[in-house]
Amino acid sequence: MLILASQSPRRKEILTNAGFEFEVRVADVDESVVGMECPRDYVCRLARKKAFAVPINMGEIVLGADTTVVVDGEILAKPEDEADARRMIGLLSGRPHTVITGICLRHAGGEIVDAETTLVHFSSLSAEEIAAYAASGQPMDKAGAYGIQGLASKYIDRIEGCYFNIVGLPIGLVWRHLRTIE
């Protein structure tokens, strides 16, 4: 049985659409960056913390995941408020950035920790477009202040890599690792 250590509706939807049967056990962990942590280490550490923050029973595999957006080496977590969302979208406007999702699969035989990186190219946005998007409320629970599957979809010129990684769960990577466990 797969256990998702996340309350993310997007991760639940990705797993459901891919045909996985799973149970949700919410992991409550501090998502602060530690020191000069690089983005890949940051998301892998959080994915591992989430996977180990929930109970596990015999025969279960716990999936922890964490996603962040990185531009110019800066980790863009979830915005604190609308002004922070405007700042983040302003940083992304007209530029490429990376989205990194760390995963951890905890099982009886140990753990598998890995990450997926996708390059995203954002269109140039006017100050009015940035303000309107920030005011929509959609940026507030998303790393980097945007969700590719929502209103921000029109701002994406192209991506290089896994679409589902940007949404929050690189399902192909998860599947490949699950096959080595079962």
Q: Which residues are catalytic?
A: 66
How high is the pLDDT of residue 36? 84
Q: Which residues are within 8 A (CB) of 56 and not within 5 positions of it... i.e. 6 or more apart?
A: 3, 62, 106
Mind listing the domains of the chain with CATH numbers?
2-181 (3.90.950.10)
pLDDT in tens, 122-165: 999 999 999 999 999 999 989 999 999 999 999 999 999 999 99
Q: What's the chain's Rg over C-alpha atoms? A: 16
**pLDDT at 182 > cutoff 80:** no
Whole-angstrom Cα distance, residue 178 to residue 182?
Answer: 6
What are the φ/ψ torsions at residue 6 (nearest 5 degrees)?
A: -165, 145
